[in-house]
Structure formats: structure tokens, C-alpha cells
Amino acid sequence: MHGLVLAGGKGSRMGREKGSLLHPDGRSFLKRTVDLLREVGCERIVVSLREGQAIQEKIDGVCYVRDSGNGPLDGIIEGLVHLEDGGCIVTACDLPALEVDIFEGLCGHEDRFVVYRSEFDGGLEPLCGFYGNGALNILETARERGEWGLRRILSENEVKILDLPRRGALLNVNHREEFRAFLEKSRDDGDGRGYLSEE
């Protein structure tokens, strides 16, 4: 089992790259995601960045790969190429409510694609899932045809969709207001860690 973290987004709506945001536990979003993948047993972990993107945080034992910056499909393909198409947990770096149980739910499957059902629209959530053997070929073929939408690509193939074990588990933050709201909720929930500046 390997892990792939997608961290190549520009974060234009946030005003900064989201992987560098500080979680209430004191770690960056990127470091926290890598730690969770390690906790679930991922042997090799790859972080996908866009071409020319600076490595803001060098994490020991993590390999960084580059994609063309054309969206998550490119990042997943480049990561899977590096991992030689082995079984891989793929996740975005901007899921601050993510906990290890979500990754545990993706383990032990033999399906080509295993993802969670979005609690927002009931569709599949391709940016937190298991991509098994053969997934790379399907994604590369779709890209060659000019298809870039991951939801459509996965839905046209055999995909196993899991229900989330708890609400809000795959919350993602795209705007500064959403990030502030998450920080405030974390503080109000009394996790004992206090409020950390988003700067």
C-alpha cells in the first residue's frame, strides 16, 4: 500500500498554497496528511506538485513528483507512474477534518477504484480514494481522449463507493472564510490545542 498526496493546486481562492496552511494541531496540512498515510501503513508516499512549484516543506522519506499543473488527473497519473501502478491511497492535501479511520476504510479492497460518497451531492469523491492495479492505464487513456473529469472517468468504470463513517470527514477548505470557520470550530470543540494563526 502506497500513498499519494495531491498538493499542486495554486490555492488562488485561498490566497496561498493550501498544503502550507497550519492545522490546529500545529502541523501543516501537507505534513498532517503524510503522517496519517504513514499511520495507516503506507510504505512509500509521493507528493505531487505542479511544474515550477517550490517545495515549501521538505518531509523526510517523501518523494516529490511534478505534473503539468492541469488539474488533479495529471497529479494522480504522475504519482501512479512513479509508484509503478501499485495499490495506492490518493488524497488531496486540503482535507483538515481527515482522520486515519478514513484511510483505514480504503484498505483491504481489491477493486480498481474505491472512493467515498460525497455528503454534499451524493456523487463520488475521487480525491480521497484507493486506486488499484490497472487504474493508471484507465486514467492515461482518458487523458489521451481529452477527458479530465475524474468523477466521470471513475463512474464509467467499475468503482466501489463507500459511505462516510461520519459527517464532515472530507470537508475541504477553498476560501479563507472557510478556513477561518474550520479554525473557529476546532477551537470551540475544545481540542486543547488553542487557536493557531492562519499566517
**Is residue 177 within 8 Å of 111, Cβ to Cβ?**
no
How do residues 14-67 score in pLDDT, each as one tens digit?
556 778 888 888 899 999 999 999 999 998 999 999 888 888 789 999 999 998
Radius of gyration for the alpha carbons in the chain, expressed in angstroms and rounded = 16
Q: Helices (DSSP H) in the chain: which residue ranges? A: 29-39, 72-82, 100-104, 135-144, 150-155, 176-188
Q: Supply 3's cell numbers.
A: 500513498
Length reported for the chain = 199
Return the H-helix or E-strand segment holding 102.
helix 100-104
Measured distance CA(30)–CA(18) in Å, rounded: 8
Q: What percent of the chain has pLDDT over 70?
A: 88
pLDDT band at 149 (very low <50, low <70, confident <90, very high): very high
pTM here is: 0.87
Going along the chain from its start, the domains and CATH numbers come out as 2-187 (3.90.550.10)
